[in-house]
Amino acid sequence: MSISLMNHPFRFDPQNPPDYKPLEAYGLIGDNRTAVLVGADGHIDWACLPDFDSEAVFAAILDPDAGTFAVRPSEPFAARQFYERGTNILVTEFVTANGTVRLRDFMPYVPGRKVPTAEIHRLLEGVSGQVSMEIIFEPRFSFGLYPPILEMSPYGAKAMHPREGSITLSTDVPLSIEGHRVVGRVQVEAGDEVWMVADWGSNTVHPVRSYQPPRQLWMTRQFWRGWINKLRYQGRYREAVERSLLTLKLLIYEPTGAIVAAPTTSLPEWPGGPRNWDYRFTWVRDSAFVLRALFQAGYVQEGTAYFDWLLQQVLESGSDLQVLYSIRGERELPERILPLRGYRDSKPVRVGNAATQQLQLDIYGSLLDAALRYDRYGGVLTITEWEKLAELVEVVRQRWREPDYGIWEARSAPKHYTYSRVWAWVALDRASQLALKLGVNAPIDDWAQEAARIHAEVMEHAWNPDLEAFTQYYGAEVLDASVLVMPEVGFLPSTDPRFVKTRERIIEKLTAGRYPLLYRYPPEEADDGIGGPEGAFLLVSFWLVDALTLAGDLKRARAALESLLLTSGPLRLFSEEVHPETEGLLGNYPQGFSHLGFLNAVFRLDHTRRRREGWDMPLG
């Protein structure tokens, strides 16, 4: 095999295409309103247009018949994907027996855009030889449930739905209708350039040149490289940190500042299993982790925009804080089931998320921790905003003794989860610090006393002397890796003997395949109301890196971090989970929480090393 082919890890035969590709065979592009998955075979298999939470127009990742937009060789080929340096412009390179072609995909970024439109630009570039290429434009509306009405034009084609709008394809390649799809074929020689633009929102098919794609490509490069050059971190993991931040930027819904947990729905936590959820929303619990990562990286504008949006939800909701919101702040996100096969036949395929109605006590601590960081990094809390935050602290004071559904959003009966109690303590602790800093009148002594009661209760009831570990909930025999955040939030020192024993017990009992991959908890032992196996959870694996770093064991922490980096696939994109045996990617993808876990682990490790060596300074 030639060296060139060895560098192209994916193989495809267009006459026998796979129903499903591995998640690591997908890259992500976006425009800060939505994001699109592009396969290494040239297929766009996931696109909710024009917004993250819109109904999908291309959804073949959930069902081979649910719509795709393919640009691929018409003969067997090998492929690889990579990003242009410092950008979210994705390059897919195809190698055939007759030549090599590159496909360059991007969505133009228009700062401050309010009009709900979306454009996907695709550039074919001949590299060597001559390659027969085919274009398959096959939209399906409403998550693949409705085939389009197709209409040809001298400049391309238009796909329509009577109620849900239209999407056009503009190109100079001759096209024709074949059944419910539009097909084009073209010979691409070395030096050729062929443009295609898919436009959601246009009522007419316009000449492809009218989109000014070369100029849009240049401006998109300029934007992404200018943005990533603001990064303050200069450590050894700079390349991976850049990719994580660029990915997080793609998850921002710029019109409001909200950040989605992932751009996808129902990618399973285990192949064929029922653990399939819609993550195209914003979770309040992410706030502390988001602000920590963005502020340390130097992206104060994005962090403050996100927190300003969260504060707006608090002002509108009063003391009725919700677990998650839509990207526009809607509170009602009814969960429904779609009649699709599901990724790798994993059902049910869900849209919406019923967790909106759950009581999860950790969200209050996360929001108060974020508020304190916001104030420290230059954000100004108004008195009205402080009063609303103080109301939330009172909610914690009144309700922290209640059982809740916990961070993992169990669908069984509520329990007294250790993680929830720890973050209830965080809420009171951060509120006290914030009140002192702002100089406001607040019952700080009462808050401190209540925090002490929570702390004492956790130490008494969450500790299992037989297991010698803090468990998932009071009186449980089940471990939960979420308790690894105890030293990170200041609840216990990292050297506390009980925490050290807990950490080592978690490593012993929850390691999933190769260390340091961890299960969240053993699903076969924990009654979470869902059932079925799941993969290793990357976020808690990164929390283990944090715990080791805080304990001063930098060698062990860095070794764990290096090992976890291997799970990010060829594009450095982390999923939610990893199969413990094959290490294939699982869960919604790319997963913001995993990227946040990686970034915060890197920044903690870097800061701790500099402090130990006596040359601590701000990042950069």
Sign (positive/negative) of CA torsion 301, 302, 305, 307?
negative
Chain region(s) in the chain for CATH 2.70.98: 3-226
Question: Tokens in use for 601?
Answer: 């682990």
The per-residue pLDDT for range 476-501, each reduced to its tens digit, is 999 999 999 999 999 999 999 999 99
What pLDDT sits at residue 318? 67
What is the identity of the amino acid at 155?
Y
Contacting residues for 113 by C-beta, under 8 A, at least 6 apart: 31, 33, 254, 255
Name the phi and psi angles at 67, rounded to 5: 105, 135
Amino acid type, 283: W
For residue 453, is pLDDT > 60? Answer: yes
Q: What share of the chain has pLDDT > 70, as a percent?
A: 98
Inform me whether the pLDDT recorded for 406 exceeds 80. Answer: yes
Residue 241, pLDDT > 90, answer yes
Tens of pLDDT, residue by residue over 72-103, are 999 999 999 999 999 999 999 999 999 999 99
Q: What is the pLDDT of residue 1?
A: 39
Provide the pLDDT for residue 3: 43
- Give the residue among 190, 149, 148 at the shortest CA–CA distance from 57: 148
Q: What pTM, to 2 d.p., does this model score?
A: 0.96
Q: Which helix (H) or strand (E) holds 371?
A: helix 362-376
- What mean pLDDT is reported for the chain? 95
pLDDT tens-digit map of 6-20: 678 999 999 999 999
Classify residue 248 as left (phi > 0), alpha (psi -120 to 50) or beta.
Answer: alpha
Q: pLDDT tens, 24-50?
A: 999 999 999 999 999 999 999 999 999
What is the model's pLDDT at position 613? 87
- pLDDT at position 5 is 62
In the CATH hierarchy, which top-level class contains the domain 3-226? mainly beta
Q: Can you read off the two tokens belonging to residue 116?
A: 């709900």
User: For 192-216, b where at least 16 C-beta lie within 10 A, e where not — what string?
Assistant: bebbbbbbbebeebbebeebebeeb
Mapped to the 3 state alphabet, what secondary structure does 281-312 carry? CEEHHHHHHHHHHHHHHCCHHHHHHHHHHHHH
Structure tokens at 375: 């104030």
What is the structure's pLDDT at 302?
Answer: 93
Which pLDDT band holds residue 165 (cuts at 50, 70, 90)?
A: confident
Q: What is the pLDDT of residue 115?
A: 78
Residue 319 has pLDDT above 80, yes or no: no
* Residue 226: count of CB within 10 angstroms of its CB: 10
DSSP 8-class letter at 610? H
**At 143, phi and psi to the nearest 5?**
60, 40
Asked if residues 476 and 410 have their Cβ atoms less than 8 Å apart, the reply is no
Cα–Cα distance measured from residue 574 to residue 542, given in angstroms and rounded to the nearest whole number: 12
Select from 501, 571, 514, 572 the least CA-distant residue to 541: 514
Using one digit for the tens of pLDDT, what is the confidence trace for 367-401? 999 999 999 887 889 999 999 999 999 999 999 99
Distance CA 182, CA 559 (A): 50
Q: Does residue 283 surpass a pLDDT of 60?
A: yes
Name the band, by pLDDT with cuts 50, 70 and 90, for residue 617.
Answer: low
Cβ burial 60-99 (10 Å sphere, 16+ → b, else e): bbbbbbbbbbbbbbebebbbbbebbebbbbbbbbbbbeeb
**C-alpha triplet 615, 616, 620: angle, nearest 5°:** 105
Residues of the chain with CATH 1.50.10.10: 230-613
Residue, of 320 and 299, whose pLDDT is higher? 299
Residues 204-220 pLDDT 10s: 999 999 999 999 999 99
**Closest C-alpha among 304, 258, 264 to residue 282:** 258
Regarding the domain delimited by 230-613, which CATH topology (the fold level of the hierarchy) does it fall under? Glycosyltransferase (1.50.10)
pLDDT in tens, 513-569: 999 999 999 978 888 889 889 999 999 999 999 999 999 999 999 999 999 999 999
Confidence of residue 113 (pLDDT cuts 50, 70, 90): confident
Whether 618 shows a pLDDT value over 60: the answer reads: no
- pLDDT attached to residue 619: 43
- Structure token digits, residue 179: 């059944």
Q: Determine the 3-state secondary structure of 264 from DSSP.
A: coil
Predicted confidence at residue 404, as pLDDT, reads: 96
CB 427 within 8 A of CB 362: no
Phi-psi region of 347 (alpha: psi -120 to 50; beta: other; left: phi over 0): beta
